[in-house]
Amino acid sequence: MTVHSLYLFDRNGICLHYSEWNRKKQAGISKEEEFKLMYGMLFSIRSFVSKMSPLDMKEGFLSFQTSKYKLHYYETPTGLKVVMNTDLGVGNIRDVLHQIYSYIYVEYVVKNPLCNLNEPIQSELFRSKLDTFVRSLPFFSARAG
Amino acid sequence: MAIFSVYVVNKAGGLIYQLDHYAPRAESEKTFGFPLELVLRPHDERVLVAFGQRDGVRVGHAVLAINGLEVNGRLTADGRDVLEFLSSPANFPVAIRFGRPRLSSNEKLMLASMFHSLFAIGSQLSPEPGSSGIEMLETDTFKLHCFQTLTGIKFVVLADPRQSGIDSLLRKIYEIYSDFALKNPFYSLEMPIRCELFDQHLKLALEVAEKAGPFGPGL
Compute how many other C-beta atoms are within 10 angstroms of the C-beta atom of residue A89. Answer: 9
B91 backbone dihedrals φ, ψ, rounded to 5°: -85, 0
Whether B23 has its CB under 8 Å from any CB of chain A: the answer is yes
Output the CA torsion B115→B121→B125→B128 (10° steps): 70
pLDDT digits (tens, 9 = 90+) for B119-173: 999 999 999 999 999 999 999 999 999 999 999 999 999 999 999 999 999 999 9
Q: CA B182, B186, B190, B193 torsion: positive or negative?
A: negative
3-state secondary structure A88-100: CCCCCCHHHHHHH
Residues in B closer than 8 angstroms to A41, CB to CB, are 118, 121-122, 125
SS3 B137: strand
Which amino acid does the sequence have at B85?
F
Residues in A closer than 8 angstroms to B128, CB to CB, are 4, 24-25, 68-69, 87
Q: CA A13, A15, A20, A23 torsion: positive or negative?
A: positive
Cα maximum dimension of chain A: 45
Q: Provide the pLDDT for residue A104.
A: 96
Distance CA B166, CA B206 (A): 10
3-state secondary structure chain A: CCEEEEEEECCCCCEEEEEECCCCCCCCCCHHHHHHHHHHHHHHHHHHHHHHCCCCCCCCEEEEECCCCEEEEEECCCCCEEEEEECCCCCCCHHHHHHHHHHHHHHHHHCCCCCCCCCCCCCHHHHHHHHHHHHCCCCCCCCCC
ipTM (interface pTM): 0.91
pLDDT digits (tens, 9 = 90+) for B13-47: 999 999 999 888 778 899 999 889 999 999 988 99
Compute how many other C-beta atoms are within 10 angstroms of the C-beta atom of residue A75. Answer: 19
Task: Report the share of chain B in percent with pLDDT over 90.
Answer: 74
Nearest beta carbon to residue A48 from set B114, B126, B138: B114
pTM: 0.91
Distance CA B138, CA B160 (A): 10
SS3 B118: helix
Distance CA A39, CA A41 (A): 5
Judge: B125–A38 Cβ closer than 8 Å, yes or no: yes
Which amino acid does the sequence have at A126?
F
Compute how many other C-beta atoms are within 10 angstroms of the C-beta atom of residue B199. Answer: 16
Find which of B98, B125, B131, B142 to mutate to test the A interface (most A CBs within 10 Å of its CB): B125
Q: Provide the pLDDT for residue B218.
A: 40
